[in-house]
């Protein structure tokens, strides 16, 4: 794992923020939604579905995405904030 990936939470939050900004999310909502969804991005990063720039490495597959998220949550059971 390179230096940038050594702190997966920071990388995942950055990717999540960029993706949501590009989708047109307003600044007021951005922090709330990044806090809610960075875990999903981290799971995709760790499972190799996306690279550290947020680029998808193969076609999206819902089942693989859910499997990665469940695995992430099992290993990181901290509570996810509600919106």
Tens of pLDDT, residues 1-23 = 455 556 999 999 999 999 999 98
Q: Which residues contact 76 (CB under 8 A, 6 or more apart)?
A: 39, 42
Each domain of the chain, given as residue ranges in start order, spans: 3-75
pLDDT band at 68 (very low <50, low <70, confident <90, very high): very high
**Distance of alpha carbon 1 from alpha carbon 8, whole angstroms:** 10
pTM for the complete prediction?
A: 0.82
Averaged pLDDT score across all residues of the chain: 88
Q: Count other C-beta atoms under 10 Å from residue 44's C-beta.
A: 23
Cα Rg, the chain, nearest whole Å: 12
Which value, to the nearest 10 degrees, does the dihedral of the CA atoms of residues 15, 16, 19, 24 take? Answer: -140
């Amino acid at each position: 794992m390179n230096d940038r990936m050594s702190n997966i939470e920071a990388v995942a939050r950055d990717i999540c923020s960029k993706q949501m900004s590009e989708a047109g999310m307003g600044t007021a909502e951005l922090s709330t939604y990044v806090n809610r969804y960075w875990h999903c991005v981290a799971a995709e990063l760790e499972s190799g579905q996306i690279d550290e720039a947020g680029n998808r490495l193969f076609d999206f597959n819902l089942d693989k995405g859910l499997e990665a998220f469940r695995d992430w949550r099992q290993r990181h059971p901290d509570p996810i904030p509600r919106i």
